[in-house]
Structure 1
Amino acid sequence: MKELKHLNKYFKKYWKKLLIGLFITIVARILQLVMPSYVKESIKVIEDFIASTVTESEAKTLLLEYILIIVGAALLSGVFTFLMRQTIINVSRYIEYDLKNEVFDHYQLLSLNFYKKNRTGDLMNRISEDVSQVRMYAGPALMYGINTATLFICIVPIMFITAPTLAAYTLIPLPILSVLIYKISKVIHERSTVVQEYLSTLSTFTQEVFSGVSVIKAYALEPQINNDLALLAVEGKDKSMSLARVNAWFFPLMVLLIGVSNIFVIYIGGKQFLDGEIESVGVIAEFIIYVNMLTWPVAIIGWLTSIIQRAEASQKRINEFLTESPDIQNTVTAETPITGKIEFKNVSFTYEDTEITALKNISFAINTGETVAILGKTGSGKSTILDLVARLYDVSSGEIYIDNTPITHLNLECLRNAVGAVPQDAFLFSDSIKNNIKFGKETASDEEVVQAAKDAVVHTNIQGFAKGYDTVLGERGITLSGGQKQRVSIARALLKDPVIYLFDDCLSAVDTETEEEILNNLKKASKHKTTLIVSHRVSSAKNADRILVLEDGRLLQEGTHEELNTQEGYYKELYATQLSEKEN
């Protein structure tokens, strides 16, 4: 159970509630033990009446008294059992809440490389299914474990005090049960791990299918996807059935062993009564009740073992991610104000997952308030520059300075708060258009949201929807066209009003007229702001203060539109080509 030690901090956090739960559990079980002894006493009263040692009136009075005690104890035990569940199960929900938050907070700290290596379905499964399995250990398993231990601690001594020989025979099956649990628990642990891992595979598959459903429909791949899912489902069923077969051994074995105990009670107890070793048939009845009271706790051992093994397997999977350290570390706790000056000095960067070198010894400087456009062929390293400025990655070599300070010496939160980024693949959440725009500034007024939408030239489109700004988008903004998604994403960045704007080819899906209008609005909004615009279009770059041209990760050309248009090279050729296309 070493993986489950991670939960100890939560048990310490809620130790008072758990202590109360423990006390309530013990009281509930002690009250439950009232019944067997008074059943014995009731039978003894009947025996005494038959033997004429008590009168009928005395017998009736005693039986009524004992019945009221049994009923009263049962009611009190029920009340305390209810309180026990309310206390311990509630604690398990608190722990589930805390653990989910811990996992989610850690997910947000992890760097982009982590998300490239791990699939979304697996991440979701660990924070949902795996955490739910762990909750079963922190709640039901703990509660029933305490319950079982309390009953054994109370009942076994009473049985030996009452009739030692009968107690010994009655409890013979229990050591056998312990050995069986020890043997089978290992198999359960192995198969539980396999099942939990496979659930992640299934979650990943279905998540990707739902996300890519438009492509599946476009290529008429529904039958193939159905077949793939059927194969996965069959394999998952086989793994689950393999685990179920092991679990299925527990309860029949429990019932068998409890049945053997009852036979021992009746046979040995009856023989001892006939031999005069026990004084009353009531002792046999008492022991039968004790054995049946132990039936559920003994049977539950198998279930508890299964829960603990599943929780161990799930917590191990959770711990694998919790022990993962983010590549990007925030080493500065003090606030570091950003004004927007950016400098790259001999920067090289290689992507860890593909080992592709995106930037090779690049150097340039951007002054505060300057607008710089970055052009180049696909794969030349344009987007990588923006990612490095936002410190989504750290450089492989060289140094990036923001306001003459190494970027790694800046408070990461301050840096990213100073950045307004519009990615090439605009991502919108399944929420209203208004809230998607306000994602950059939650406190913004409706007037500010509308103004940002107007500056992004998407206000008219939004008004065309039946619910306007309250229109709820589909997953990843599927309700909108590509150009509309880009413009809503631009509105989000404009509303944030950051120190540094990062536009990554964010006008590729709009027409040239709309592009020109947006660029004019961006020029006004980004006045005195440092702006980096990545584009494939000269029209997006020609009005920038400077233009950087990249090729194969190297800085090929640098200058203004007029300067580069007089030089032979990539920029002049691109400008001539696009100018010719526009005229045609």
Structure 2
Amino acid sequence: MKELQHLNKYFFKYKTHLVLGVIITIVARIFLLFTPRYVKKIFIIIENYIKDGGAETTIKSELTVAILYIIGAAIIGGILTFFMRQTIINVSRYIEYDLKNEVYGQYQKLSLNFYKKNRTGDLMNRITEDVSRVRMYVGPAIMYSINTFTLFVIVIIYMLNASPKLTLFTVLPLPILSVIIYKLSKEIHKRSTIVQEYLSKLSTFTQESFSGISVIKAYGIEPQTSVNFKALALESKEKQIDLTKVQAWFFPMMILLIGASNLLVIYIGGMQYINGEIESIGTIAEFIIYVNMLTWPVATVGWVTSIVQQAEASQKRINEFLKIEPEIKNNCETHSEIIGNIAFKEVYFTYDDTNIQALKGISFDIKEGETLAILGKTGSGKSTILDLIGRLYDIDKGSILINGIEISQLNLTDLRNSIGYVPQDAFLFSDSIKTNIKFGNQNATDEDVIEAAKHAQVHKNIIKFSKGYNTILGERGITLSGGQKQRVSIARAIIKKPKILLFDDCLSAVDTETEEKILKNLNKVSKGRTAIIVSHRVSSAKNANKIIVLDDGKIVQEGNHDTLVNIEGYYKHLYEKQLSETASNTEQ
């Protein structure tokens, strides 16, 4: 159970509830144990009545008192059992809440590399299925373990007090039970780990299928997707059945061993009564009740063991991620003021997952309030520069300075709060358009939202929807067109009013007329702010203070529009090509 030791800090956090639950459990068990003792007393009353021929009124009175004691003890025991569940089971929910937040918090800290190497379905499974299995350990498993241990100890003490010899024969099957539990629990742990792995695979497959449903339908591969899903589901089912086959041994073995104990009580107890070793047949009745009181607790030993083994396997999977150290760490706890001066000095960067060297000795600088445009072929390293400014990755060699300070020495939260980023593939959440825009500034008013939408040239589109800004978007903004998603994403960045604006080819899905309007508005809102525009269009770059052209991770051209159009190279060639395309479209 070494993996489950991670939960000890939560047990300590809720120690008051747990200790109270243990005390209530012990007291509840004591009250419930009144029943067998008073059943024995009833037998003795009846035996004495038959033997001595006592008065009928006396026996009725004594039986009534004994029965009332049994009923009273059962009611008090039931009430205490309710409070036992309220304390211990509630703690399991508190710990589930804390553990989910711990896992989610760790997910938030981990770098982009982590998400490139791990599938979303597996991440989701660990924070849902795995945490739920761990909750069963910190709730029902612990509750029943305490219940079983308390009841077992008290019952054995009572039984030894009543008849040591009969007690010995009654507990004779328990060592056999221990060996069986040990053997089965090892197998359950192994099979539980496999089951959880297959659940992760199934979650990943379904998540990817739903996210890519438009592609699946466009290519007409629904039948093949269904076949793949069925194959994976069948494998998962077989692993679940393998686990269930082992778990299925527990209860029959428990019932068999408890039945054996009952037979031993009746036989050995009967022989002792005949030989005069026990004074009342009520002792046999008392022992049978004790044995049957132990039936459920002993039976739960197997169930609890199964829960613990599954929780151990799940917690191990959770711990694997919790132990990962984030690659990007906040090295400055104090506040960092971000102005907007950015300088790259001989920056080299290679992606870990592909081993592709994206940047090879990049150097440039931008002053506060200036605009830099970056052009180049696909894969030349344009988007990588934006990722490095947001410190989504750390560089291999060289230095990135913001306000003259090494980027790794700035407060990470302050750095990212000062950036408004519009990615190439605009991501919108399954919420209203208004909420998606306000994601950039939670304190923004409705007027601010509308103003940002107007700057992004998307306001007229939004008000045509039946619910306007309150229109709920589908997953990843599927309700909107590509151009609309990009413009909503631009509005989200604008409303933040950041020191640094990063635009990653965010106008690729809009027409040239709309692009021109947006660029004019961006020139207004970016006044006094540093802006970097990554684009494939010269029209997006021509008004920038500085333009750099990348090729294979290196800067091959640098200057402003007027300079570059007069120099042979990529920029002039691209300008002339796009100029001729525009002229051709105008003629048509």
Whether TM-score is above 0.5 comes out as yes
1:118-176, Cα deviation, whole Å (9 max, x unpaired): 00000000000000000000000010000000011100111111011111001101111
- The corresponding residue for 1:481 is 481
Please tell me whether residue 174 in structure 1 is matched to residue 158 in structure 2: no
Counterpart code for 1:386: L
How far apart are the structure 1 equivalents of 2:224 and 2:205? 13
1:350-375, Cα deviation, whole Å (9 max, x unpaired): 00000000000111111111000000
Counterpart code for 2:262: N
Counterparts of residues 205-216 of structure 1 (less than 5 Å): 205-216=205-216
- The corresponding residue for 1:128 is 128
After TM superposition, give the deviation of residue 55 of structure 1 in Å. Answer: 2.2
How far apart are the structure 1 equivalents of 2:55 and 2:278? 24
- The corresponding residue for 1:61 is 61
Secondary structure of the 2:240 match is helix
Please tell me whether residue 201 in structure 1 is matched to residue 201 in structure 2: yes
How far apart are the structure 2 equivalents of 1:516 and 1:495? 20
How far apart are the structure 2 equivalents of 1:452 and 1:53? 99
After TM superposition, give the deviation of residue 236 of structure 1 in Å. Answer: 0.6
After TM superposition, give the deviation of residue 569 of structure 1 in Å. Answer: 0.4
Please tell me whether residue 165 in structure 1 is matched to residue 165 in structure 2: yes
How far apart are the structure 1 equivalents of 2:4 and 2:446? 48
1:320-340, Cα deviation, whole Å (9 max, x unpaired): 000011110101000000000
Counterpart code for 1:297: P
Counterpart code for 2:224: Q
Counterpart code for 1:423: P
How far apart are the structure 2 equivalents of 1:349 and 1:54? 100
Secondary structure of the 1:294 match is helix
1:291-321, Cα deviation, whole Å (9 max, x unpaired): 0000001000000000000000000000000
- The corresponding residue for 2:47 is 47
After TM superposition, give the deviation of residue 445 of structure 1 in Å. Answer: 0.3
- The corresponding residue for 1:105 is 105
Please tell me whether residue 70 in structure 1 is matched to residue 70 in structure 2: yes
Unmatched tracts of structure 2, length 5 or more: none
Counterparts of residues 524-563 of structure 1 (less than 5 Å): 524-563=524-563
How far apart are the structure 2 equivalents of 1:561 and 1:234? 61
- The corresponding residue for 1:242 is 242
- The corresponding residue for 1:33 is 33
Secondary structure of the 2:187 match is helix
How far apart are the structure 1 equivalents of 2:277 and 2:52? 22
Counterpart code for 1:280: S
Counterpart code for 1:532: I
Secondary structure of the 2:52 match is coil
Percent identical among aligned pairs is: 66
Secondary structure of the 1:308 match is helix
Please tell me whether residue 350 in structure 1 is matched to residue 350 in structure 2: yes
How far apart are the structure 2 equivalents of 1:48 and 1:533? 101
Unmatched tracts of structure 1, length 5 or more: none
1:187-224, Cα deviation, whole Å (9 max, x unpaired): 00000000011100000000000000011111111111
How far apart are the structure 1 equivalents of 2:126 and 2:58? 65
- The corresponding residue for 1:501 is 501
How far apart are the structure 2 equivalents of 1:125 and 1:440? 29
- The corresponding residue for 1:404 is 404
Counterpart code for 2:478: I
Counterpart code for 2:189: H
How far apart are the structure 1 equivalents of 2:415 and 2:222? 45
How far apart are the structure 2 equivalents of 1:381 and 1:544? 19
How far apart are the structure 2 equivalents of 1:153 and 1:555? 78
- The corresponding residue for 1:298 is 298
How far apart are the structure 2 equivalents of 1:516 and 1:455? 12
- The corresponding residue for 2:490 is 490
Secondary structure of the 1:401 match is strand
How far apart are the structure 1 equivalents of 2:75 and 2:225? 56
- The corresponding residue for 1:523 is 523
Secondary structure of the 1:440 match is coil
Counterpart code for 2:103: V
How far apart are the structure 1 equivalents of 2:222 and 2:362? 47
497-506 or 44-53: which moved more?
A: 44-53
After TM superposition, give the deviation of residue 52 of structure 1 in Å. Answer: 1.9
How far apart are the structure 2 equivalents of 1:55 and 1:396? 99
1:462-502, Cα deviation, whole Å (9 max, x unpaired): 00100000000000000000000000000000000000000
How far apart are the structure 2 equivalents of 1:69 and 1:153? 23
Counterparts of residues 350-499 of structure 1 (less than 5 Å): 350-499=350-499
Counterpart code for 1:576: E
How far apart are the structure 2 equivalents of 1:91 and 1:564? 68
- The corresponding residue for 1:155 is 155
- The corresponding residue for 1:229 is 229
Counterpart code for 2:319: N
After TM superposition, give the deviation of residue 59 of structure 1 in Å. Answer: 1.0
How far apart are the structure 2 equivalents of 1:54 and 1:418? 94
How far apart are the structure 1 equivalents of 2:185 and 2:311? 13
- The corresponding residue for 2:11 is 11
How far apart are the structure 1 equivalents of 2:444 and 2:362? 38
User: Alignment RMSD, CA only?
Assistant: 0.5
How far apart are the structure 1 equivalents of 2:174 and 2:147? 17
After TM superposition, give the deviation of residue 251 of structure 1 in Å. Answer: 0.4
1:77-101, Cα deviation, whole Å (9 max, x unpaired): 0000000001100000000000000
Please tell me whether residue 513 in structure 1 is matched to residue 507 in structure 2: no
How far apart are the structure 2 equivalents of 1:18 and 1:151? 17
Counterpart code for 1:106: Q
Counterpart code for 2:333: T
After TM superposition, give the deviation of residue 108 of structure 1 in Å. Answer: 0.2
How far apart are the structure 2 equivalents of 1:218 and 1:571? 37
Secondary structure of the 1:548 match is strand
Counterpart code for 1:495: I
How far apart are the structure 2 equivalents of 1:219 and 1:516? 35
Secondary structure of the 2:439 match is helix
How far apart are the structure 1 equivalents of 2:55 and 2:46? 10
How far apart are the structure 1 equivalents of 2:91 and 2:570? 65
TM-score (norm 1): 1.00
After TM superposition, give the deviation of residue 54 of structure 1 in Å. Answer: 3.1
How far apart are the structure 2 equivalents of 1:517 and 1:533? 15
- The corresponding residue for 2:322 is 322
How far apart are the structure 2 equivalents of 1:441 and 1:8? 39
Counterpart code for 2:119: R
Counterpart code for 1:119: R
How far apart are the structure 2 equivalents of 1:113 and 1:151? 52
Counterpart code for 1:502: L
How far apart are the structure 1 equivalents of 2:396 and 2:297? 59
Counterpart code for 1:201: K
How far apart are the structure 1 equivalents of 2:373 and 2:382? 10
After TM superposition, give the deviation of residue 53 of structure 1 in Å. Answer: 5.4
- The corresponding residue for 1:287 is 287
Counterpart code for 1:131: V
Counterpart code for 2:192: S
How far apart are the structure 2 equivalents of 1:53 and 1:459? 100
Secondary structure of the 2:379 match is coil
How far apart are the structure 1 equivalents of 2:230 and 2:43? 62
TM-score (norm 2): 0.99
Secondary structure of the 2:391 match is coil
- The corresponding residue for 2:566 is 566
After TM superposition, give the deviation of residue 57 of structure 1 in Å. Answer: 1.5
Counterparts of residues 569-584 of structure 1 (less than 5 Å): 569-584=569-584
49-58 or 525-534: which moved more?
A: 49-58
How far apart are the structure 2 equivalents of 1:125 and 1:2? 22
How far apart are the structure 1 equivalents of 2:551 and 2:229? 43
